[in-house]
Structure 1
Amino acid sequence: MESLRDKVTIITGGGAGFGRVTALLFAKYGAKLVLGDFNIAGAEAVAEECKKAGLSIDDVLTVEANITKEDDRKKIVDECISKFGRLDILINNAGIGRFAPLTQTPPDMYDAVMDLNVKAQLYMTQLAVPHLKATKGNIVNLASIVSEEAMPLSGVYGMSKAAVAMFTKTLALEMAEFGVRVNEVRPGTVNTNFYDAFFGGDTEKLQLLMTAEHPKHPLGRLATPEEVANAIAFLASDMASYTTGNAIYVDGGRHCVGAGFAAMPKTK
């Protein structure tokens, strides 16, 4: 991962969740970071952690921004270029989940999910692309296993992540002639606060539901956020220099599971 050293990296949603652990990992590898988040206190806290991980005060920039707003998207890119003079990596991490049956999904919920998970990524990327062409940089998008696996209550969220999957492939084709790679990571169920609305922070109940009662993850456990960050770092690094339009699953084999998996006898 030495190729990440000094690479100027924008992480949207850099103040929490996957954004935080990805920032810490990139800090370990010596990247220069731009953490965009509407929760500026969270972004600044992550920046302090990155400094403890080895970055100098001049290596981390925090930007208060709600990327569903055009001016805020522009502010992230403009401040990045003003400080560092270039952009090497864009990590489209920011996103939300809202859950309801499709037949009961209100328009404001649909708009909130699509605006952040799809529209904001598209237009954030448009602003970044001229700078990425100049550096022959790359983009990593955060999608999800539900981009292809239908789940009750997750219809709109799954639709948004399916859009990200098509966005990744199409953009990869369009950017190939410029040497700009575009890839995505598809996590399965990860042990984060994303599921608090369902389980109230009870990680034991979440673990049981997703591995024991409904064994969708053949490796028998949930992923950690750090394992998702590892996949992001790989795709952003020169180790993936001939990889574009691709998706890495960080789901313990969940995407391989068929309807009969739960009933299969386990080998000893």
Structure 2
Amino acid sequence: MESLKDKVTIITGGGGGFGRVTALLFAKYGAKLVLADLNIAGAEAVAEECKKAGLSNDDVLAVEANITKEDDRKKIIDECISKFGRLDVLINNAGIGRFASLVNTPPDMYDDIMDLNVKAQLYITQLAVPHLKATKGNIVNLASIVSEEAMTVCAVYGISKAALSMFTKTLALEMAEFGVRVNEVRPGVVHTNFYDASLGGDPKKLQMLMAAENAKHPLGRLAKPEEVANAIAFLASDMASYTTGNAIYVDGGRHCVGAGFATRQKPQS
């Protein structure tokens, strides 16, 4: 991943979860980072961790921003260009998940999920595209296995991630002539603060969910956040120089099997 050295990289949602571990991995490879997050304290804390991982004060910038707001999206891009003079990689990581079936989804939940997971991704990308054309950079979107695997408990979240996956493929076609690659990562269930927030901080519910999800992944465990970050780094690097419009699953094989996988008897060895 040496090609990530000095690459100016924006990570939305850079103050925690996948954003944090991705930032630390990119810092290890010497990238220059813009960590955008509504939680500025979290983003600043991650920035300090990145400095301990080898970056200088001049290599990392924390930006307080709510990417559902037009002015904040513009602020992220403007501050990036002002500090570093260019943009090489945009990682659309920020997202929200809420649990409800379609018939029980209230309008405000739908609006919150779609505004952040789809609309905000589109419009910050529009602002980034002119700068990415100049550097022949690339975009990595954080999608999910629910882009194609229907789950009643997170119906609108699944719809938003399916929309993001079509966004990835369509933008890849639009940007190909400019040498700008667009790809996505589709994690399975990974224990991050995303689930802590989605379940209202209820430790019992979280423990039950994680135990149940272990059995649904053929490798028999949940992914580590660092494994998702590895896939993001690969797609952002020159090692994926001929890869665009693609999705990498980091789900222990879950997308390969049917809904009844967890209840099937294992074959005798």
Taking structure 2 as the reference length, the TM-score comes to 0.95
Q: Is the Cα contact below 8 Å between 2:25 and 2:229 reproduced in 1? A: yes
Q: Which residue of 1 aligns with 2:176?
A: 176
Secondary structure of the residue that 2:203 maps to in structure 1? Answer: coil
Aligned mates of 2:71, 2:163 — CA distance in 1: 23
Q: How far, CA to CA, are the matches of 2:168 and 2:182 in structure 1?
A: 6
Q: Identify the residue that residue 152 of structure 2 maps to in structure 1.
A: 152
| Aligned twin of 1:4 | 4
Conservation of the 8 A alpha-carbon contact between 1:137 and 1:181: yes
State whether residues 183 and 247 of structure 2, in contact with CA within 8 Å, keep that contact through their aligned partners in structure 1.
yes
Q: Distance in 1 between matches of 2:238 and 2:246?
A: 15
Question: Can you list the C-alpha shifts for 1:216-257, whole angstroms capped at 9, x where unaligned?
Answer: 200000001111000000000000000000000000000001
Moved more, 135-144 or 98-107: 98-107
Would you say 1:58 and 2:63 are equivalent positions? no
Give the whole-Å Cα distance in 2 for the aligned partners of 1:158 and 1:126.
23
Distance apart, 1:84 and its partner CA: 0.4
Q: Could you report, residue by residue, the CA deviation over 1:75-106 in whole angstroms, capped at 9, with x for unpaired residues?
A: 00000000100000000000000111211211
With normalisation by structure 1, the TM-score equals: 0.96
2:223/2:250 contact within 8 Å kept: yes
CA drift at 1:194: 2.3
Task: Give the superposed CA RMSD.
Answer: 1.3
Per-residue deviation, residues 142-191 of structure 1 (Å, max 9, x unmatched): 00001111112211000000000000000000000000000000000002
SS of residue matched to 2:94: coil
Q: Distance in 2 between matches of 1:209 and 1:98?
A: 18
Mapping for residues 57-136 of structure 1, pairs under 5 Å = 57-136=57-136
Q: Is the 8 A contact 1:13 1:35 kept in 2?
A: yes
**Residue 250 (str. 1) matches residue 253 (str. 2):** no
The one-letter amino acid of 1:140's match is V
Per the alignment, residue 211 of structure 2 pairs with 208
Residue ranges of structure 2 left out of the alignment (5+ in a row):
none
Which whole-Å CA distance do the structure 1 matches of 2:203 and 2:91 have between them?
27
Secondary structure of the 1:91 match is: strand
Q: CA deviation at 1:205?
A: 3.0
Does the 8 Å contact 2:113/2:156 carry over to 1? yes
- Residue 221 of structure 2 aligns with an amino acid whose one-letter code is R
Q: Which residue of 2 aligns with 1:219?
A: 219
| Inter-partner Cα distance in structure 1 for 2:208 and 2:260 | 23
Of the structure 1 ranges 66-75 and 200-209, higher mean CA displacement relative to structure 2 is found in 200-209
Aligned residues: 265
The one-character-per-residue Cα deviations of 1:91-128 (angstroms, maximum 9, x if unpaired) are 00000001112112111110000000000000000000
Contact 1:193 1:201 in 2 (8 A): no
Residue type matched to 2:267 in 1? K
**In the alignment, is the contact (CA less than 8 A) between 1:144 and 1:186 conserved in 2?**
yes
Larger mean Cα displacement after TM superposition, 197-206 or 109-118:
197-206
Q: Secondary structure at the match of 1:244?
A: coil
% identical equivalent positions:
83
Partner of 2:185, secondary structure, is strand
Letter in 1 for 2:168: T
1:259 & 1:17 partners in 2: Cα distance?
27
